[in-house]
Structure formats: C-alpha cells, structure tokens
Amino acid sequence: KFLFFKLMNPIEQTIKKRKFKKFTLRGLGVEDLIELSSKDLIKILNARGRRKFTRGLQQKPITFIQKLRQAKKSIALHEKPRPVGTHLRNMLIVPEMIGNLVGVYNGKAFNQIEIRPEMIGHYLGEFSITYKPVKHGRPGVGASSSSKFVPLK
C-alpha cells in the first residue's frame, strides 16, 4: 500500500499558519464578553464573584475602573495604555479591563500585569506574588549541628 501526499512547494510550507484556540468563557467569546451588561456578567461569574457584585462595589474599585477606561481612551490605535497602579488586590478582573496594564502592589513594589481574557473572574492579587520564593541552599549561621551535615558526594 502506498500513500500519496500532496506535495507542497517549500514556500507554502513556511507560510503555513498556526491555528490558535479562541478563548471562550462559559461559551462566550471575548467580543461577546466585552459587550455583556453587568447583570449578564454576574450570571457568568462563580459564586464568590456573584456575591461580590450583587452586594455592590465600593468607591475605590469604581474609580479604578474609571482610570482604566481613561487610560484606554487616551492612546492611539494598536498601542498599549499607560499602566494604572493599584493596591486593590481583591478586585475581580472583568472583561472591560482586557488589554490594560495594571500595576498591582505586592507590599513592596508594583508588579506590572497585562490583563488577558483568561484572567476574567480571577483577582488581581493572584498575579502579583507577595513573597519571595525560598531558594534552599546551605545551612546558615545558628543552624543546629544535625542540619549542618551535608553528605560527601
């Protein structure tokens, strides 16, 4: 049995485009998510998000969203908006924020984050780690005698 394949010339092989999976959240694409009203968005979020929005937003998250809108309006086409710094680590990411740059405070500095569609429904604090991960090395000064033991190779 012989299989015959359609031979592509070398130019067609290099131009062959990759197909990216389109993001959907509960069956809705990015364009649909951006156009959602706040009542429809609440239905899509998980229980914690629904509770947060039904109880109402305070003034700080509202002004933060207004700053993000203003940053998006003040740019030219195909440019990234200026980063907007915030201490609101407990702010839920909503579709309106997509494409914005946000500086999330981690207790020491503002970590710059670009909001992507996959982040919808998560908190800003999830993307700005508050501690420096431990790098385990040799025992330091004051270590017990048992922890100083390092076996020979």
Distance CA 128, CA 118 (A): 16
What is the pLDDT at residue 26? 85
Beta-bridge partners for 100: none
| Residues 6+ positions from 103 with CB-CB distance below 8 Å | 83, 84, 85, 86, 110, 111, 112, 113
Q: Residue 8 pLDDT > 70, yes or no?
A: no
- Kindly state the helix (H) or strand (E) to which residue 50 belongs, with its residue range: helix 47-54
Q: Residue 152 pLDDT > 90, yes or no?
A: no
DSSP single-letter state for residue 86? E
DSSP string, 111-135: EEEE--GGGTTSBGGGGS-SSPPP-
| Residues 6+ positions from 151 with CB-CB distance below 8 Å | none
**pLDDT, tens digit (0-9, with 9 covering 90-100), for 18-67:** 777 888 888 888 888 888 888 998 999 999 999 999 999 899 999 999 99
Mean pLDDT of the chain: 84
Q: Residue 3 pLDDT > 80, yes or no?
A: no
What is the pLDDT at residue 68? 93
pLDDT higher at 57 or 11: 57
Distances (CA, A) of 68 to 77, 94, 104: 16, 12, 13
Question: Which has the minimum average pLDDT: 15-24, 67-76, 124-133, 142-151?
Answer: 142-151
Could you tell me the pLDDT band of residue 6, with boundaries at 50, 70 and 90? low
